[in-house]
Amino acid sequence: MTDPVVAKRPAGSGNPGAARGVRAAQHPSEAPIPPTPEAVEKTPHVRPGDRIFRGLATGSGVFIVVLIGAIGLFLLLQAIPSLGLDQVNFLLSHEWNTTDPNNLRFGILDLLQVTVFSSAFALLIAMPISLGIALFLTQYAPRRLARPFAYIVDLLAAVPSIVYGLWGIFVLAPLLVPFQSWLNSALGFIPIFGTGNVKIEFGGTIFTAGIVLAVMILPIITAVSREVFERTPTMHVEGAIALGATKWEVIRTTVLPFGKAGYVSASMLGLGRALGETIALTIILNYTNTAFGWSLFDGGSTFASRIALAAAEFNDPRSAGAYIAAGLVLFVLTFVVNAAARSIVAGHKEYE
């Protein structure tokens, strides 16, 4: 994303002093003053300050790359011993029992399903709303108010997730209980509205969690989509207006086709955030040992919430390793989703 700007800049390519020196040495005839022997000698010389500074900057860049590698590596190293002790299939078992380190039984199937299901539900709610907000902020809001309005939406991201969690379980959940019961009784024949493995009356269902998650990922999807929509070429918009299109038709024929890839990418970033959300889900979701049944009124745990619940009792490295293994799977999952989101945008040069 940064490349074109940097490429245009002479400063971006190494030490300018050195570069000029080299050129002067190779084509002495071009220089207005013939280079003194001193200048020719100085050609390969780089100031120590420059060398140190360049080293620090490059080193920091390398550090980031190493860091990501280290995250994967350390999690893997700590997970392997416990995976070896696992008495059940790690990928295909619903069981999760790590209380006895000598008889570890942990499988991630339930965690994976709950994580993906609740995030997908959140995304389903958040995607249309954030599309609307992004369009509102770029196309509909009065010019002078667009900026403060955007700030308000960004404020949603500033609220800590634990506050969302508390609000979700203590304020929102009780209000949603009647609605959930009604959905369950009226549409219970459809599997996802079927009776779940926790009591709806407690409020801690995936339905509640998904709504709170949706609120939390709204600002991310909105911010990225907004940036892309703002870049719609003015020519396209004016062309559509000149052809007599209504405002909606202008958006449908210019803004949406131009911004579609960016919007999809933004949604995937939101998905990545939802997959890894920890404390809000730990607070809201009702813990249960019953297997997940693909209902919105199920409880259960996501990867992150299961780890958070057990975090205080990482006493035995073998049990801790089981949770680290779950963390590794979550890391890989978010890595793939985020990388996919970035590669979608990277394929569209017009967004830069």
Partner 1 sequence: MSTGLADPSRLATPPTFQSVSTGRKIKNGLATVLVWLAFAVAVVPLVWVLYTVVARGFPSIVDADWWQKSLSGLLGRQQGGGAYHAIVGTLLQGLVCGVISVPIGIFVGIYLVEYGGRSKLARTTTFMVDILTGVPSIVAALFIYALWVTTLGFSRSGFAVALALVLLMIPVIIRTTEEMLKIVPDELREASYALGIPKWKTIMKIVIPTALSGILTGIMLALARVMGETAPVLVLVGYAAYINFNLFDGPMASLPLLMNVERNNPTQAGYDRLWGAAITLVLIITLFNLLATVVSRWLAPKTK
Residues within window 280-319 making contact with partner 1, judged by CB under 8 A: 283, 303-304, 307-308, 311-312, 314, 317
SS3 assignment, position 206: helix
What's the burial of 221, exposed, middle or buried (CB within 10 Å: 0-12/13-18/19+)? Answer: buried
Under the binding rule (CB under 8 A), the answer on residue 243 touching partner 1 is: no
| Total residues at interface with partner 1 (CB under 8 A) | 105
Q: Can you tell me which of 90, 167, 202, 351 binds partner 1, judged by CB under 8 A?
A: 167
Cβ proximity to partner 1, 104 vs 215, nearer residue:
215
* Torsion 176-177-180-181 (CA) sign: negative
Task: State the Cα–Cα distance between residues 7 and 40, nearest whole angstrom.
Answer: 28
Helices (H) and strands (E) in the chain, counts: 15, 2
Instruction: Give the N- to C-terminal CA distance of the chain in Å, as an integer.
Output: 6
Task: State the Cα–Cα distance between residues 202 and 42, nearest whole angstrom.
Answer: 77
In angstroms, give the least distance from the CB of 335 to partner 1: 6
Q: Which residues pair with 106 in a beta bridge?
A: 96
Cβ proximity to partner 1, 44 vs 189, nearer residue:
44
E strand map for 206-320 = none
Cβ proximity to partner 1, 67 vs 189, nearer residue:
67
In angstroms, give the least distance from the CB of 26 to partner 1: 20
In angstroms, give the least distance from the CB of 112 to partner 1: 14
Q: Can you tell me which of 16, 28, 188, 191 binds partner 1, judged by CB under 8 A?
A: 16
Task: State the Cα–Cα distance between residues 326 and 68, nearest whole angstrom.
Answer: 17
Under the binding rule (CB under 8 A), the answer on residue 226 touching partner 1 is: no
In angstroms, give the least distance from the CB of 90 to partner 1: 16
* Helix (H), strand (E), coil (C) string for 2-49: CHHHHHHCHHHCCCHHHHHHHHHHHCHHHCCCCCCHHHHHHCCCCCHH
Contacts of 111 (CB under 8 A, 6+ apart): 96, 301, 302, 303, 306, 326
Of residues 77 through 136, those in contact with partner 1 by CB under 8 A are 77-78, 128-133, 135-136
Q: Can you tell me which of 183, 228, 330, 344 binds partner 1, judged by CB under 8 A?
A: 330
Cβ proximity to partner 1, 191 vs 317, nearer residue:
317
Task: State the Cα–Cα distance between residues 264 and 294, nearest whole angstrom.
Answer: 25
In angstroms, give the least distance from the CB of 138 to partner 1: 10
- Cβ atoms of 279 and 165 closer than 8 Å: yes
Cβ proximity to partner 1, 184 vs 305, nearer residue:
305
> The tokens of 275 are what?
């997959």
Q: Can you tell me which of 47, 89, 120, 238 binds partner 1, judged by CB under 8 A?
A: 47
Cβ proximity to partner 1, 154 vs 185, nearer residue:
154
Cβ proximity to partner 1, 61 vs 347, nearer residue:
61
Cβ proximity to partner 1, 75 vs 183, nearer residue:
75
Of residues 52 through 71, those in contact with partner 1 by CB under 8 A are 52-54, 56-65, 67-68, 70-71
Q: Can you tell me which of 21, 204, 331, 344 binds partner 1, judged by CB under 8 A?
A: 331
Q: Can you tell me which of 43, 83, 149, 194 binds partner 1, judged by CB under 8 A?
A: 149
Query: Nearest Cα to 105, choosing from 120, 83, 79, 87?
Result: 87
Cβ proximity to partner 1, 98 vs 278, nearer residue:
278
